[in-house]
Amino acid sequence: MKNNSLLFLFLFTASLFAQKRTNEDIQSEKLNTKRQITVITPSSYDAPANKNKKYPLLVLLDGDYLLDPFAGTLSYTEYWNDLPEVIIVAINQNKNNERKTDCRIDKETGLPDEFGEKFFDFMVTEAMPFVEKKYRVSPFKIIAGHDLTAGYMNFFLYKENPIFSAYIALSPELPKEMESDLADRLAAIKTPVYYYLATADGDVMKMQKKIKTLDENIKKSSNPATKYYFDDFKGASHYSLVTFAIPQALYHIFSIYQPITSIEYQEKIVTLKNGYVDYLKAKYDVIQKDLGVKIPVRINDFRAIEAAILKNGAYEELKALSDVASKNYPKTTFAEYYTGLYYEKMGENKKAINAYMKGYGNSEVGDYTKDMMLEKADNLK
């Protein structure tokens, strides 16, 4: 588990990274009033090189108090490229206690009443189109809420084609029958959905009981489309569990995005009999397809695959690794390094030398310098 106590450090260091915070007003016909949202764009958003880049969207209900802890966590993890850059949209619901009106539920049916339906329509037909038109949002959208809003946000999952791909439910106050109905929905859903659920031993007892029932019901399903994670924190209250849960939730949802770890290498990669390069390509295909994030393969991920290939003597795969390097880092030393390494391991030193010398004439990438390429060639003469 990530060190959740670091979240408090994130809050103090968030200002170090150049996120841009903007308040926007949406004139809502559904709610017959003006509603304010706060939008935070990542540090790279306005860079000329990224003018066409799209970013995953994180929508926060209870944005008045959830915005800063989420923004602090993401600011820190973005800096280390541990989690992707994300556009954050906070729905401010504190004025006139709007959260209670927005999330009103009919106690008999367990569904939104006329006020709750209006807020749902506001989100679907006004707020999201406004954000998608003005900001470069990828198809991958996350929604998060706490207690009342965490229970309400589940109604987006009840629709045939949910507008959100991931859900962060922080101690949700579950309406009537939702602990059964939501589990049934997650069991039947066809499109990939990430769902994170959290409670704590110091949570409100009546809420905690229904949350744990929901957890049990979800776990009875083996739907591969539902990527589910549950946390029951020890020594935390209904309010403090939020600070523990935020990094846990984000790391669960973006687990595929993270660089290859030593655990992933030891348990999933080096144990393969073959297909090391296929594993690497599949990882980045999922990042792009599921998360809507397109990034070049990290240098350290290349090194992990290289290490597995060399350890298992699967030298033939070095050719495929060279192709991936060429696609991600064209006209650099990188692709020729793997071509040269392939020929070197196959005992074809002359071809290896030619590849290394060809790489000497290309641009450098990280530690793969011209001097390194020259040294590799000299060692084979």
CATH number of the domain where residue 149 is located: 3.40.50.1820
Q: Are residues 284 and 238 in the same domain?
A: no
Question: Could you report the per-residue pLDDT of 29-52, keeping only the tens digit for each?
Answer: 999 999 999 999 999 999 999 999
Q: Are residues 244 and 279 in the same domain?
A: no
In a domain, 45, yes or no: yes
Q: Are residues 67 and 164 in the same domain?
A: yes
Which range marks the domain in which residue 273 is found?
262-379
Given a cut of 90, whether residue 80 has pLDDT beyond it is no
Q: Are residues 216 and 293 in the same domain?
A: no
Secondary structure of residue 227 in the 3-state scheme: strand
Question: Could you report the per-residue pLDDT of 247-293, keeping only the tens digit for each?
Answer: 999 999 999 999 999 999 999 999 999 999 999 999 999 999 888 88
In a domain, 1, yes or no: no
Q: What is the CATH number of the domain that holds 370?
A: 1.25.40.10
User: Which of residues 221, 241, 257 is at a domain's end?
Assistant: 257
pTM: 0.87
Burial zone of 309 (CB within 10 Å; 0-12 exposed, 13-18 middle, 19+ buried): buried
User: Which of residues 211, 235, 257 is at a domain's end?
Assistant: 257
The region, left, alpha or beta by phi > 0 then psi within -120 to 50, assigned to residue 347 is left
Q: Are residues 245 and 108 in the same domain?
A: yes
Q: Are residues 76 and 180 in the same domain?
A: yes
In a domain, 117, yes or no: yes
Q: Are residues 26 and 59 in the same domain?
A: yes
**Averaged pLDDT of the chain:** 93
Cα–Cα dist 310/187, whole Å:
42
- What's the average model confidence in pLDDT over 229-239? 97
Q: Are residues 149 and 38 in the same domain?
A: yes
Q: Are residues 232 and 268 in the same domain?
A: no
Q: Are residues 252 and 282 in the same domain?
A: no
Dihedral sign of CA atoms 361, 363, 365, 369 in order: positive
pLDDT band per the 50, 70, 90 thresholds, residue 17: low
Number of domains in the chain: 2
Question: Could you report the per-residue pLDDT of 84-104, keeping only the tens digit for each?
Answer: 999 999 999 987 789 999 999
Q: Are residues 183 and 311 in the same domain?
A: no
Given a cut of 80, whether residue 6 has pLDDT beyond it is no
Of 324, 340, 326, 330, the C-alpha closest to 372 is 340
Question: Could you report the per-residue pLDDT of 313-326, keeping only the tens digit for each?
Answer: 999 999 999 999 99
User: Which of residues 223, 257, 291 is at a domain's end?
Assistant: 257
Q: What is the pLDDT of residue 13?
A: 46
Q: Are residues 165 and 22 in the same domain?
A: yes
Beta strand 193-202 pairing with 166-170:
parallel
